[in-house]
Structure 1
């Protein structure tokens, strides 16, 4: 199951995002993608209050990212997030970081749902699966 909705988050590159060469340090693309996933979930009605009140945590299980071109200081970027796979206890997001139409980085990030106390895998709540899959 997939949501079929691509979420977009505008970003700007600040000095703290760059390395000594003035380009975005590679790990910061993962931070941009994390922000897009977080804001996507918030827009779907699953902000931190919902997550914490339901004793959930979503943790990164796997990351595969391809870096294509560098972003630089003061660039205006867009980070996207789209669910491409939604399982019982995990979901996979296709994500991109763009400057205009140019894809700077893109990849797939698999997120696992875990119990906040035991940190063991647990099923994603039914209401969340329904909304994220577009069934609601």
Structure 2
């Protein structure tokens, strides 16, 4: 039996606002694309961040990033941005993310950027680390994705 693919995929279209003076995606915008994909991935799993903040008093914060750029994206490109937990923990998670170009001809995706994003759970008021709520950890478990 082959392992279940737990990678979440989210489409992102490149607009003028995403590009720099050279007509390519500004490097920092990949972090925005990754953030959007993580948010949609959590929503897909039934984890609504605003509701958690209001009901549980905690939230996720980014504590570290590491990115590698392979090729540029350009205006009107359609990307697929992925998110997948690689290091689950009780107070933090490491999420592997990629942004790939989806060629119009249907050929294989082209990797543009890949990264590792570490997020931690904190008290929303004091910003002190806390354990991730059990319900959130259960939603993130491989069998639930």
Q: Secondary structure at the match of 1:69?
A: coil
Q: Distance in 1 between matches of 2:24 and 2:142?
A: 38
Post-superposition offset of 1:37: 0.3
Residue of structure 2 equivalent to 1:9: 10
Residue of structure 1 equivalent to 2:64: 62
Post-superposition offset of 1:32: 0.2
Q: Which sections of structure 1, spanning at least 5 residues, go unmatched?
A: none
Q: How does 1:46-125 map to 2 (within 5 A)?
A: 46-52=47-53, 53-100=55-102, 101-125=109-133
Q: Which runs of 4+ in 1 moved over 4 A?
A: none
Q: Which has the larger radius of gyration?
A: 2
Q: Distance in 2 between matches of 1:113 and 1:18?
A: 32
User: How many equivalent residue pairs?
Assistant: 134
Q: Distance in 2 between matches of 1:76 and 1:23?
A: 13
More relative contact order, 1 or 2 (CA 8 Å, 6+ apart): 1
Q: Which sections of structure 2, spanning at least 5 residues, go unmatched?
A: 103-108
- Per the normalisation by structure 1, the TM-score is 0.93
Q: Is the 8 A contact 1:4 1:84 kept in 2?
A: no
- Per the normalisation by structure 2, the TM-score is 0.88
Q: Is the 8 A contact 1:6 1:81 kept in 2?
A: yes
Deviates more, 1:15-24 or 1:124-133: 124-133
